[in-house]
Structure formats: structure tokens, C-alpha cells
Structure 1
Amino acid sequence: MNKRLSIYGRTFVSISLAILIIFSVLAVVYTSISSATSKQLRLDDMERNAKEIADLTARYIPESGRIFITGEVTGYWTFAARSTGTIVCIIDEDNRIVYDTGLPAYFIEQLEYDSAERYFILPLEATNRGRSSYSSAAAETSLSEYLDDVDSWLVASSPLPAYTRVYSGEVLLLRHLRPDSVTGLLQENSIPISFFIAFLLSLIIIVLLSRTITRPISALARTADKVYKGDLSARVKLGKEDEHTLTLDDTDEGTPSHEDDLTLLVRTFNTLIAKFEEQEQQQTDFLSSISHDLRTPITSIHGFIEAMRDGTIPPDRYQHYLDVVKSETIRLRQLIDTLFDQTVEGNVNALKRSVFNVNNLIIRVVDSLEPLLKEKDLSLELQLSDGEGTGFNVIADEDAITRVLSNILTNAIRFAPQSGLVLVRSSLENRLVHVAVEDNGEGIGDEDIPYIFDRFYKAERSRSTEGSGLGLYIARTLIKRHGQMIKAYRSDLGGAGIVFTLERP
């Protein structure tokens, strides 16, 4: 299976190819321009050097027109050849090469040889009889027939001064453009080499820049893959692994307003994952709370039925407890309907507020929990205010408040001692109805009070007690949705107390 090329690899390859193409085109263009310019400069230098050598050589030509060769003049020719990088040839009026500083052997072998004078003779068509200096590429002259790799040779010629003849000879310079050393090779190809070095440097810069750009994108891809596989805790981190995770919630906490689009993308992506995780957690919390709420009415129904079967409840009380069972089954149906709505719609329905008497609701909830009270032989005390004769009506979602009170009472029953006391009190304060539930159990430690409503939190006193840790969490959630207050405190009875408020109509 072929491994997928990362975005870093694709970016690196793409940018590298683009720069390579650009540098190659520029290298070709600049090399061509440089070669043409350099060639012309060399031709001009060769023509000037040929004239200077011809002028100096003329000093050694007597009026007879014969070149007088001395050690001094040959030394000058040799020095001129070395300093100009050319081959210096001195041609006399009879086309004979009277001196050269190193013509190629293959070139000489093609020339006619004067055995009497022991000189090689340059062909007539190859001589400069136009009595004017010139410089040119060898391929454009008659010498092209005698030179190998003719395109790499330059030729310059300057005629010697003529006293009696039309042609008295010439100074012929040949220059081979092919470098014969490493230094010459580097000088000859300085532009392509410079572009190649620049390309290597650009690759280093590309590596640094592309990693800076693509690292967050690669991190996004890896995190997206983790989320796809179900890990909603994954987040994109920029920089060090222990760095703060960026989300849109941080924008008011000193985040620069001029941050780049990539950072904003990371923030948005992390925020979306956080919302997905929150929705997933809400779904889980909802199912957990429903499961918790289903347990209480089922326990009550089971207790009533068992009591009726074993004779604990006399026949004349059947109707009363059947009404309680009916009420609990209605509540069960409502819970199941809510669960169905959550499954189908993906969210909890809005509160259905109505006006009802909170004291009557308290009595109904207490009746539904009677089996739990009897199981621990608990005494229940009701202190219900009548609202100064005006009735004790509240405006709220009756089903939700039933869940709240049932959860709080169940919690009090669970932590009350055997044969203990549970107190339920309603009162009116500042136009708000206060409903409090207290027990005479071990109570709540001061260190536990701030966390008692947290999901799954269990105080030390409840570690060995059956319960999911969701009851009070659900109660607080529902009360908060009503915009009301709920808090825990240490009861005067010695145990825990939970109080919440409800709005009056």
C-alpha cells in the first residue's frame, strides 16, 4: 500500500520544482547573456593585444621587411601569450610561421612544411591580407578547417607594417575557451554555479518556511483523524505540546486581533471539537439522568406491589396505593417520552411552565417514596406554609420540579440513619417559595459543600452508599433552567440540608 504524501512533502516538492524551473530559466538567460558579453569582451581584448604585439614586433623588422628574431622579442611574445591566455603566432610575408607559443600538434600537422627553411606555412586563404585588424570566432574564418572543436576557439589578427610589400606578415592570436583547470572551470561556469548555490539556499529556506506553514495544517489533519476515530478530547496545539489549546473562547483574554488566518482556523477547529464533545457529554449526561430517574419510580412501584402481595397493605388501602402506582407509571411514561424526544430531536424540550400548588406536589412525592421511608423506618415531618392564606402556588414545570424534589428526598432518605428523621419544609420569603429538605444524618463536610452538586461527585460519607452521584446534579440543572437558586448547607438536625426557590405567579 502506497503511503500518502503529506501536505508538507507536497508543498516542499511543489515549491522546490517551481523555484528550480525559475532558477533554470534565469541561469540559461543570464549565462547566454554573460557568455555573449564575455565573448565580445575577449574578442576586443584579443584584437587590442594583437595590435600591441604587432606594433612591438614592427620594431624588429628592418627595412628589408624580414622579421629579425631575437631573444628579447621572443621573450616578449612568450610573456604576452601567458598574460593574455592566447597562442601567439608570428607570420612573415611568405606566410611562414616563424614563431608560435604552442600551436596544437594536430593543427601543425595539417600545414605545408618548408623543409629548406624549416618553417610551417599557413595557407594563403587563412592569412590576413586585408591590411586591417580583426577578431572573430574561429568558425567564421578560414582557420575553421584546421581546428578541432572549432566553436570553442577565438581568433584575432593584426597585420605587420608593410614597407615594400602589400603584405609583410601578421600577428595571429588563438584562444581556446575550454577551461583547462578547476579554477578556469569555476570561472567559466560562475553564473550556473551561483544559481545552483542560490537554489540550495532556497531549499533550506523552503524547509523552514514550509514547516512553519504546514505544521499547523498537518496537526489539523492528525487531530481530524483522531476525532473521526472517536477521540473528541483531541485538540490542535500550536508549538509545544504543553502549550495552551487555542479556542475562540480565548479571544477576549489577550489574544492579538491581528493573528493570521491559520491561527484563527485552529481556534475555530478546536472550538468546533469542543462543542461536539460538549454535545456528546450532554447526551451522555441526559441518558445518565434519565436512567437515574427511572430507578426511583420503579423502586416505588415494586415496593407497593410487593406490600400488596404480602399483605403489608390492607385491601381497604389498595385504591390509595394503586393511585400512587398510577401516578408513578405516568411519570415513567413521561420520562420515556422525554428520552424518545431526546433521541429523535437531539435536545431536551423546553420547560413547560404552569401554575400549581407546591404543597400538593410535595405530598404526592412523599407518598411515592413511602416504601423507601418504611424500609429504613424513617420519620417524615412536613412543615408546609399556606402562604398566609393565599395558597402556595408557584409557576414552573411541574414534572421537572417533581424530579427535583424526588431526587433531593431520595438523597436525604439514603443518608438518614436507620429510624432517623427527614424534614420537608416550605416557606415564603421575598415573594419566592423556598422548599427545604433536611435529614439528621452525618451531614456534609465544609470541604464537600462547594462540590455537592457536581456530576458524579460523592462526599466521603457516601463512598459505600448506593447511588450514581447524579441526583443532586440533575436537581441543580433543572432549578438553574428555571432561573432559580439551589444550595446545600448543614442542617440544625445535624445532617445535610438542600433548599431551592420557586417563582410565584
Structure 2
Amino acid sequence: MLVINSKQKTKRFSFAGIRLVRARMRSSLFAKYFFSCTLVMLISFIVLSVALMVLSVRYSSGQKRELFSQNARTISNLTEGFNDAGPDGNRQLSNIIGIFSQMLDADVFVVQTNGSVLAGSVQGDNRGDVVSNDAVIPSSVMKTILKNGSLYERSSTLDGFFKRAYITVGETIKDSSSGEAVGAVLISSRADSMLKYMRDIIRIFIFCLAIVLLCMFAAIYYITQRMVYPLRQMASAARSFAEGNFDKRVPVGEPDEVGQLAVAFNNMAASLLSLEEMRRSFVANVSHELRTPMTSIAGFIDGILDGTIPPEKQNRYLKIVSDEVKRLSRLVHSLLNIARIEAGEVKIQQSRFDVAETIRRVIIGFEYGIDEKHLEIRGMEDIADMQLMVMADPDVTHQIIYNLVDNAVKFSNDGGYIAIQTAFKNKKVYVSVKNSGMGIPKEDLPHVFERFYKTDKSRSTDHKGVGLGLYIVRSMLVLQGQDITVKSVEGDYCEFVFTMEKA
């Protein structure tokens, strides 16, 4: 039987906790940003604090050396006068040295050239650090002072004079008449006093670090939350989009990069919503356009087969079936054209040709429909002998003019007119197709180039159209870098004007 003790369980839980934290840091942008900023600021603060602490210690050490040196020189100047005064002078000198020792919180010694101590004062806590009461300053130390005129030991026992490391500053005492060195003044303090100073600095540093880190954590947490919050909202909105809900929007905050991203995200959401509405409308319209002729075809065929339609009327209904089949064929052809355009499969082969000849051929192709509605064709007398060279795709241009003339014939009133005009301006050829009739309502003008859009909602006027002709016209013009506009007065006329490149 396998037994797992409590230590093993604790280790497993610890490793699991570490793995969980690492996984959260990898998966959460907030955690990555928060911990990265915290780590950078923490390292920066520690480096700056250590550098400041080192500089502070060096400055303090330098100040202490300078202080000791100045007081050593002062004592050196005083010593000569007291030596001349005999025993009383020595006592007075000892008192003054004691005052200096208390003031500096250091040990002060006046020594002869042979190293023997003439007068001195040792702080109470330091008495045990002197090797013996009659200790003599080592000759090596005295040689250094007498040779250089001064001494500085950052951390030394003065070759065994002290039992522990001391900071010592020394200055020579010179005879005023001969200028020769007759002794020296030594001022010493424990080297661990600097360690105490460093410990105090470290305690202050840790206290300040704790406060700064606490404030820094709070600031980074707040800033990171504000930065990540819009991104979380975008992620939530994106999940809604994946579920088919395109109504959700992201609040736009500050006009910074995140705010600009939120604006772009909302614009994308609006575009997706529009595309979804177009898709639904497209499916609904295609379903309607397919169902209507299929229903008619099925009804008439069933009527002929079961004898409901008498033989003498069958040709009439077969003609209707034939028209509906042609209508289905046109619908499928239009849908294929749209699919090819949107897939980028329509390749524009531009060449130089006469667009006036294309207009004449299209009008001739609609001769039957024009005669049936007794329409007047205006402008042909100007185009009859004209040669208007353009740079475009001849087949695509033929399709564009065919669709526009087809619309004009269908929606012209009986006995009305169709006007074809051309113009040249700014290296562009303008072709206008205008027809009389009921026109297009003002509120419908912005939508006439949309797929399956019909101004005749009841479809009572246009039985053959499927609402794709104008969409295809505009798409083909866009492919050639051209444009089309529409003008209409309801109850009077409708006019389409498109542009072409002059050859």
C-alpha cells in the first residue's frame, strides 16, 4: 500500500500552485503586464537604492575622515604650547583631548616619535579594544606617519594596537622652530560604526521600499486594470459575434491607442452587422425569387398533367412556364456574376473601343420592347454617326449599358421616352441613360444599387427583374475604377449617369 506523508502532499500542492500561477501569467495579459512592470520597477528601485546607499556610505566616510583630519591638525597645533608648559600643561592637554574625544565620539592619542603615548582619551566602550594600558604605537605605523606627514587607515588594528578594526586618521606634530616632526596625533573610531550606519540606512531603505512597493503595486494594478478592461470587453464582444450576436459594442474611453482600437472594433462590429443583415436579406430574397417561379412552374405542370388545364389552353400556360424558366436562368446567371465579382474572378481586359457603337447595338437589341411600349428614343441622332473612343473592357461595358437600358425599357411609361446622352469632361466620358415614368422615390435612391432591392415592393410592375442588375452595374464600374450616380423626380423621370476613361 502506497503511503504519502504530509510533506509530500505539501510539496505537491506547492508545485501545483506554482504551475497554476505560471499558467495564469501565460494566459492573462493583465498578469503579464502587472508582473513585468512590478519586476522592472522593483529591480530599478533596488539598483538605485543600493547605489544611493554606497554613495551615502562613501560620503559619510569621507566626511568623517575630513572631520578627523581637521581636529587632528587642531590638536597638533595646541600640543606644542602645552608641552612647553610642563606637567600642568600635560594635564590641561589631557583634558582638552578628552573634550575632543567626547565631541568626536572617538579615541584620541598624542604620541611621541618612538610610539609611546604621551596623552590619550579612550571612549568607555572602547577601553577593552586597546591591547594594554601601556601599549605603544607600532613602529611601522609611526614610520608611515612621520614619512608622509599623515595617516589614514579605513579598517585596521594598527598592526596589533587595537583588538578589532578601527578607522584611524593621523597628523604629525612639528616643532615650530625647526619644523621637524616631534610626535603625532591619532584619532580612531570603530570601523563597525560605519556598519551601524549602513544598517540604519538599510532599515530606512527597507521601510521606504515597502511603502513605495505598496503604492507601486496599487498604481500598477489600477493602471493595468484600466488598460486591460477594454480588451476584456472586446474579447467578450468577439465571443458574442461568434454566437451570431452583432449588436454588442465596446465603450470608447480615452482617445489613446486603446480608445482608437475600441472605435475600430465598433466600426468592425457595425460592418459585420450590416453584412449579416445583407446575408439574411440575400437568403430571403433568393428564396423568394426561386420559390415564386418554381411554384408557378410546378402548379402549371401539375395542372397539365392531371387535366385541370384543358388542351386548348396548355400552350398558353407552357409559354408562362417557359418565361419562368428563363427568369430562373437570368437569376442564376446574375448570382453567378455576383459570385465571380465578389470572389475577384472577373478580370478586366481594358482596350480602346467605340462606346457609341456599343450603345447603338444595345438599343437595336431592345427594338421589340421599345416598339411594344411605343417609346421614343432621344439622342440617337447625335450618336448615330459619332465615334467616341474610350479605354475600358468592351464586354463589361456592354453588360453595363444593357442593364441600364433594360431598366429604362421596363420602367418607362407607355408612349414615354428613353434619352441617351454622352458628354466629355476632365478626361472622362459621361454616359447618361434617362427614361420617363414613375421615377424612384427620394427615400429609395440611396438603396437602388443594393442587391435584390426593388422600389416596387409589391413587385407588380417588374415581374421579370430580380433586383440584381444595378448592383452588378455598380460592381463592374468599381472594378474599372469608375462611378455611377442616379437622379430622379418621382412621377417624372429617372436618370443614371456613369463614367468611363477617355481614350
For 1:457 and 1:341, how far apart are their aligned partners in 2? 17
Residue in 2 aligned with 1:104?
125
Call closer, same or farther: CA 1:384–1:108 in 2, change over 3 Å.
same
- Establish whether residue 328 from structure 1 lines up as the match of residue 324 from structure 2: yes
CA offset at residue 322 of structure 1?
0.9
2:73 aligned residue (44, 51, 55): 51
Residue aligning to 1:10: 32
Counterpart position of 2:395: none
**Secondary structure at the residue paired with 2:101?**
helix
Q: Which moved more, 1:307-316 or 1:269-278?
A: 269-278
Task: Classify the secondary structure of the residue corresponding to 1:69.
Answer: helix
Equivalent residue number for residue 301 of structure 1? 297
Give, in whole Å, the separation in 2 of the partners of 1:51 and 1:297: 120
What is the match of residue 174 of structure 1?
Answer: 188
1:102 CA displacement: 1.5
Partner of 2:91: 69
- Aligned match of 1:428 in 418, 427, 434? 418
Q: Are residues 26 and 319 of structure 1, via their aligned partners in 2, closer, same or farther at CA, if it must alter by over 3 Å?
A: same
Distance 1:405 1:309 in 2: 39
Segments of structure 2 that go 5 or more residues without pairing to the other structure are 1-19, 349-357, 381-397, 422-432, 478-483, 499-503
Indicate conservation of the 8 Å contact 2:338/2:472, yes or no.
no
Change (3 A) 1:22 1:109: closer
Residue type of the alignment partner of 1:10:
K
1:289 aligns with 2:311: no
Q: Distance in 1 between matches of 2:222 and 2:30?
A: 10
Mapped to 2, the partners of 1:198 and 1:223 lie a distance apart of 36
Match of 1:86 in 2: 106
Mapping of residues 429-444 of structure 1, within 5 Å: 429=419, 432=433, 434=435, 436=437
Give the C-alpha shift of residue 69 in structure 1. 2.2
Q: 5 Å matches for 1:346-385?
A: 346-347=342-343, 355=362, 358=366, 360=368, 384-385=374-375
Q: Which moves more between the two structures, 224-233 or 32-41? A: 224-233
CA contact (8 A) 1:91 1:98 kept: yes
Structure with the larger helix share = 2
1:135 aligned to 136, 152, 168, which one? 152
User: Does 227-236 or 39-48 show the bigger shift?
Assistant: 227-236
- Rounded to whole Å, the distance in 2 between the matches of 1:178 and 1:292 is 97
CA distance in 2, matches of 1:67, 1:8: 78
> Is 207-216 or 59-68 further displaced after alignment?
207-216
**How far does the alpha carbon of each residue in 1:82-119 deviate from its partner, in whole angstroms, 9 at most, with x for none?**
443433356689946865252425x427643xxxxxxx
In structure 2, what residue type is equivalent to 1:69?
A: R
Distance 1:339 1:430 in 2: 28
Contact persistence 2:408–2:435 (CA under 8 A): no
Determine the structure 2 residue equivalent to 1:366: none
User: What is the one-letter code of the residue matched to 1:100?
Assistant: S
Q: Provide the C-alpha distance between the structure 2 equivalents of 1:109 and 1:178, rounded to a whole number of angstroms.
A: 13
Q: Which amino acid aligns with 1:156?
A: V
Distance 1:387 1:343, change over 3 A: closer
Residues 249-268 of structure 1 correspond to what in structure 2 (within 5 A)? none
> What does 1:179-258 correspond to in 2, within 5 Å?
207=220, 218=231, 222=235, 225-226=238-239, 229=242, 239-240=253-254
- After superposition, the Cα gap between the structure-2 partners of 1:387 and 1:61, relative to the gap in structure 1 and judged at 3 Å, is closer
Distance in 2, Cα, partners of 1:299 & 1:174 = 116
Normalised to the residue count of structure 2, the TM-score between the two structures is 0.55
1:320 Cα deviation (Å)? 2.9
Query: Structure 1 residues 41, 485: CA separation in 2 closer, same or farther (over 3 Å shift)?
Result: closer
Percent identity among equivalent residues? 17
Length-normalised TM-score, structure 1: 0.55
> 1: CA distance between counterparts of 2:216 and 2:288?
63
Which letter maps to 1:434? N
Paired residue total? 417
CA deviation map 1:154-208 (0-9, x unaligned) = 1124466789xx99876432223556999x6698679978996998699699959
CA contact under 8 A between 2:403 and 2:470: conserved in structure 1?
Answer: no
2 CA distance for matches of 1:94 and 1:348? 104
SS at match of 1:88: strand
Cα RMSD over matched residues? Answer: 6.4
- Counterpart-to-counterpart distance in 2, 1:386 and 1:448: 29
- Return 5+ residue gaps in structure 1 as ranges: 113-119, 244-259, 364-381, 410-422, 439-443, 492-497
In 2, Cα distance between equivalents of 1:158 and 1:321: 133
Q: Counterparts of 2:33 and 2:491 in 1: how far apart (Å)? A: 65
In the alignment, what sits opposite 2:384?
none
State the secondary structure of the residue aligned to 1:323. Answer: helix
Contact 1:361 1:402 in 2 (8 A): no
